[in-house]
Structure 1
């Protein structure tokens, strides 16, 4: 049975691979990213995409209008989009922190709230966090804005799971270790991660489809390395 799935951050990396995986299984996908072109070029009948910026308030209404006109309901939301900055804390600016939190925390909150009226009681909201957001995990200097935002979004998801535990949907977080993506390469040039974007996307796909049968309000650490 095909599901209606919304994914953010789909122009490259894990998000781009997820769009392929779900579409190939016959699911309907709404692929959201600031640059819609890579997904627009895929020419799948069951993939829809348009330019969407988590930091632009008006863009959320476009998602509402699409769901109302095309689907009527949503089964899965994957909050995958993320922003990163790698610089020493004393060199970061107010604008750096604002930009990172707007995408990694405020955007997750706003899109989730926007989609909630449409998501089914047995639906699944999966938010992608990072091992850097896990208390007690190894921390990397230069990621004060990024990793702290990823910690914040974990707590947000735990709170949402509690608030909606009697009505659904289910909310879970995947805290990823290092994955070889363009974003990682930009933040840490030359670093080679043990996991490819496609491998991680395959894991996330399966978890999004089935994980809410077993988990709610949980943080799963998806890492075969430190980070």
Structure 2
């Protein structure tokens, strides 16, 4: 398989960290983006590049643009994996809380995609990681008003982008994940034990990223073996 240039956000832990490892082991070039770059830097792979990046800081996107122009010239796959999970009763969820969640989960996804798109070819693939909580009609949980509604927003955004770029590419798809045992889940729901590990889910996303756009465009796939 020809090596691909892959950008992944939210790589300091959980699914994102596992994805970086998987792609690098397969010989692909990875740009790993996270507010904390240290965990990925510790991996010490020649084909992994990493620097501190914050989805909420406009100037950080320039660093991504410069890197692509100087190092790669093009991007094959973008995985919008970074996310913020807030578990708080709605009555206590402030304007600032909602803004922060949407800034990371929606505006960050939109801006990262907008910045990377000019460097993608017709067969490129943009994958956004959403949640079962963002699926209309799925089981909902108290305390997740900001989080789950933001995850619904990126599903609609993906459908719109697939339509807008259907003649030229790339392809856009969403994976709506069920509960995965990550640090982020543990912080929000300390007592819940998810049936799927971060590595197991990363392995699925890895395969879908490389091949899913041959079969899907503008689709949301529900990747869950549990109720949440």
Q: Give the alignment's TM-score, normalised by structure 1.
A: 1.00
CA drift of 1:190 comes to: 1.6
Alignment correspondent of 1:115:
116
SS in 1 for 2:191: coil
SS in 2 for 1:54: coil
Q: 5 Å matches for 1:162-173?
A: 162-173=163-174
1:127 aligns with 2:128: yes
Alignment correspondent of 2:29:
28
Q: What are structure 1's unaligned runs of at least 5 residues?
A: none
CA drift of 1:171 comes to: 0.1
Alignment correspondent of 2:57:
56
Q: Deviations over 1:132-172 (max 9, x none)?
A: 00000000100000000000010000000000000000000
Alignment correspondent of 1:18:
19
Q: Distance in 2 between matches of 1:119 and 1:36?
A: 24
CA drift of 1:129 comes to: 0.1
SS in 2 for 1:221: strand
Q: Distance in 2 between matches of 1:119 and 1:14?
A: 24
Q: Distance in 2 between matches of 1:86 and 1:35?
A: 22
Q: Give the alignment's TM-score, normalised by structure 2.
A: 0.99
Q: 5 Å matches for 1:87-102?
A: 87-102=88-103
Q: Distance in 1 between matches of 2:86 and 2:128?
A: 19
Alignment correspondent of 1:143:
144
Alignment correspondent of 2:78:
77
Q: Distance in 2 between matches of 1:181 and 1:49?
A: 21
Q: Deviations over 1:78-121 (max 9, x none)?
A: 00000011010001001100000000000000000000000111
Q: Distance in 2 between matches of 1:189 and 1:68?
A: 42
SS in 2 for 1:168: coil
Q: Distance in 2 between matches of 1:167 and 1:92?
A: 41
CA drift of 1:185 comes to: 0.2
Q: Distance in 2 between matches of 1:200 and 1:17?
A: 9
SS in 1 for 2:128: strand
Q: Distance in 1 between matches of 2:144 and 2:179?
A: 13
Misfit runs of 4+, over 4 Å? none
> Between Structure 1 and Structure 2, how many residues are aligned?
227
Instruction: Give the CA RMSD over aligned residues.
Output: 0.3
Q: Distance in 1 between matches of 2:191 and 2:40?
A: 27
SS in 1 for 2:167: coil
